Amino acid sequence: MPYGISYAGAESDYDSADVFMLGIPYDRTSSFRPGSGQAPFEVRKASYNFEEICFEHGLDLPQLNIFDQGNCESPFLPEDMIEEVKFFMAPAVKSGKFTIAIGGEHSVNIPIIRCFEKNDISLITIDAHLDSRDDYLGTIYSHACVTRRAAEQLGIDNVFALGVRSISREELEREDVVPHITSFDIKEKGMEWAVKKALDSVKNERIYLSLDIDGIDPAYAPGTGTPEPFGLDPMDVKNAIGLIGSRLAGFDVTEVCPPADPSGITSILAARFINEVIAVRSKYLS
């Protein structure tokens, strides 16, 4: 364990773990303000702020066995990051463990999705950005290319983005635009409507949820690399996790940027979302 702390409650060994957790401190393709590499440490630290159970899900939850691998290395080249993440994630996915990753920037999602079989999962992102560029600033593994890479892997009808409010003309005008719902429509029609639309749109039953923390309004999550106003309410995102419910197949939270988060509130929110995912997962395993 490079930093000496593991996630709160992560006391299992690998073999008996239901949940496999990995910190991926990679932030080399960040386009505006870097620093998300420090997030795995800060989010783990924030996890000690909470009770072990989320009482609103019922006080007698069976605790899942959680194994925290610690952080993987953060090589310079994105190609090397891809291999590094796959090295840790692929065996965990293959053995049927529920994986939770703490980024790092959003690009860490690219190798995780590649650990799943093509027809096994669909990807839903919660993100201010559509992240569907072919390449960005010289790499196809940029955090601006996450949904495009997933669409190549899973098919474009197995990718859906929620909370989007920043799209380049290049992304919006192409024929194979990544399916998405804006934060404006979610504000008007509700998260329940939006999640239902997303679940109806994708073809595979199991849903991998990738939370780019900038999907949430910067008033609640200011500590992020590319903050974008008019975002989602954290309670709506909490509800989205519950609505995906039994279909959840894996989770990552990315783009928390501790240098831009002096109060630590964004790391605290990220940890609480991880706990929410674990609580929802427990509910459907019991």
Whichever of 131 and 217 has its CB closer to Mn ion, that residue is 131
- The DSSP code for 130 is -
> For residues 147 and 254, what is the distance between their CA atoms, to the nearest angstrom?
14
Instruction: Confirm or reject binding of residue 149 to Mn ion (CB under 5 A).
Output: no
Looking at the DSSP bridge assignments, the partners of residue 248 are 207
**Binder to Mn ion among 214, 217, 236, 261 (CB under 5 A)?**
214
- What is the number of residues in the chain? 286
Amino acid identity of residue 257, one-letter, is C
Nearest to 22 by CA among 96, 106, 108: 108
Report residue 257 as tokens.
């940027």
Whichever of 66 and 146 has its CB closer to Mn ion, that residue is 146
3-state SS assignment for residue 141: coil
Binding-site size for Mn ion (CB under 5 A) equals 7
> For residues 83 and 2, what is the distance between their CA atoms, to the nearest angstrom?
19
Instruction: Confirm or reject binding of residue 106 to Mn ion (CB under 5 A).
Output: yes
Instruction: Confirm or reject binding of residue 272 to Mn ion (CB under 5 A).
Output: no
Instruction: Confirm or reject binding of residue 261 to Mn ion (CB under 5 A).
Output: no
For residue 245, the tally of other CB atoms under 10 A from its CB is 15
Instruction: Confirm or reject binding of residue 127 to Mn ion (CB under 5 A).
Output: yes
Instruction: Confirm or reject binding of residue 252 to Mn ion (CB under 5 A).
Output: no
Segment interacting with Mn ion (CB under 5 A) among 155-163, 181-189, 214-222, 257-265: 214-222
**Binder to Mn ion among 44, 45, 97, 129 (CB under 5 A)?**
129
Whichever of 274 and 279 has its CB closer to Mn ion, that residue is 274
* Interaction site with Mn ion (CB under 5 A): 106, 127-129, 131, 212, 214
